[in-house]
Structure 1
Amino acid sequence: MPYVNIQVTDENVTKEQKLQLVQGVTQLLVDVLDKNPETTHIVIQEVPVDNWGVRGNLYSTLKKQK
């Protein structure tokens, strides 16, 4: 039973985009690892930009600097 956790920043990811991620990752596991889609679980977690760090900074801070 594959379990995949996708974490993205909470920047307006639509329900349709999430569905595309779930469908695409599920199909990838079917194609590459011959996994059963009926027992494949995908979880999408949206992380606030204040809780995401990159290059030694908070992503929210870097985003404001642009």
Structure 2
Amino acid sequence: MPFINLKLAKGRTVEQKERFVKAITREAVEILNVKAEWVTVVIDEYDRDNWATGGELHSIKFGEGCGKMGVED
């Protein structure tokens, strides 16, 4: 029974998260040879003020929209 824990910065839509967990579940079923109902996916979302890399908060280091395609650096 795979338990998959995703950690994402806040800001994704419900539709994006739904598509993502369906894709992850589909791949887990195929690769791990398990039933879809055995796959559990949990999403932990974090504000960028609560996430840091290299000693810098992502909200400051990267600014608004970090990690989304189409957003300037």
Please give the range of the TM-score, normalised by the shorter of the 2 chains: 0.7 to 0.9
TM-score normalised by the chain length of structure 2: 0.79
Corresponding residue for residue 59 of structure 1: 58
Partner SS state of residue 13, structure 1: coil
Report the AA paired with residue 36 of structure 1: K
Corresponding residue for residue 4 of structure 1: 4
Ranges in structure 2 where 5+ consecutive residues have no aligned partner: 64-72
**Cα shift at 1:32:** 0.7
**Cα shift at 1:57:** 1.1
Report the AA paired with residue 7 of structure 1: K
Runs (4+) of structure 1 moved beyond 4 Å? Answer: none
Partner SS state of residue 4, structure 1: strand
C-alpha distance in structure 1 between counterparts of 2:39 and 2:51, whole Å: 27
**Cα shift at 1:63:** 2.2
**Cα shift at 1:51:** 0.9
Q: Of Structure 1 and Structure 2, which has the larger fraction of its residues in helix? A: 1
**Cα shift at 1:33:** 0.8
Q: Identify the structure with bigger relative contact order (alpha carbons < 8 Å, sequence gap 6+).
A: 1
